[in-house]
Amino acid sequence: MSRRTVRTLLFPLALVLAAGCSSSAAKSGSSSSSAAGGATTVAKSAAVSTAAPGTTTAAGATVTIAKGDCEKLKPLIATMSVDWQVLVQLVNATKVSEWNDRAKTIGSLPKFAETLDGLQAAFGSDKSAADSISYMRGANDIVQKGLGGDEGAIASLKTYLGTNLVDSLTKQAAIGKAFNDVGC
């Protein structure tokens, strides 16, 4: 394994540590959407907020993220990193009931779509990041079927992700670069 590959795989872990997130903090989740003025609004809850900056919604407190507002982006990146790493390991399960066990103990896979929505809102204008988010969304759609009990999801996920775990894990790199490009 090359140094570049190791750095690429360790970058998301470094973001988690830099954000000060434990797995329980990552479980609380963050989600985002575009708000007025080109900023991103993050709601600390299970629902994506489309409220105007500075408002509170039923989903919880909303916060506006401006370009380079790293402290508000870090939890979103950390959640993505944990969930994606859990997701790509699900291909090793022999039945989808194992997926539910993992989803309850590590990360927040049942809410991964909301994390992806937040990433799309924050980094969707970056083509590489948007492509990675789209790829992750496709994998997540399969996982959600598995979490719902579809046993065929294991084979579908194996086909979708392919056999090279490193290729799947490096999808995080484009999002990490977009995070860096906004000044974080």
Average pLDDT over residues 165-170: 86
Q: Is residue 164 scored above 80 in pLDDT? A: yes
Say if residues 33 and 49 touch (Cβ distance below 8 Å): yes
* pLDDT category of residue 107 using cuts at 50, 70 and 90: confident
- pLDDT given for residue 67 in this prediction: 59
Helix axes 3-19, 70-89, angle to 10 degrees: 120
Pick from 16-20, 154-158, 161-165: least confident: 16-20
Q: Is residue 16 scored above 70 in pLDDT? A: no
Average pLDDT over residues 66-91: 86
Query: Tokens at residue 138, please?
Result: 């496709």
Residue 47 per-residue DSSP state: S
Average pLDDT over residues 122-147: 94
Query: Tokens at residue 17, please?
Result: 């540590």
- pLDDT given for residue 116 in this prediction: 93
Q: What percent of the chain clears pLDDT 90, i.e. is strictly above it?
A: 41
Average pLDDT over residues 70-87: 90
Q: Is residue 1 scored above 90 in pLDDT? A: no
Q: Is residue 53 scored above 80 in pLDDT? A: no
Give the start-to-end residue ranges of the domains of the chain.
Answer: 3-21+70-181
Average pLDDT over residues 103-115: 88
Q: Which residue has the higher pLDDT, 1 or 156?
A: 156
- pLDDT given for residue 13 in this prediction: 46
CA–centroid distance for 66 within its chain: 19
Q: Which residue has the higher pLDDT, 12 or 170?
A: 170
- pLDDT given for residue 66 in this prediction: 58
The CA distance from 173 to 95, in Å, is: 30
- pLDDT given for residue 68 in this prediction: 63
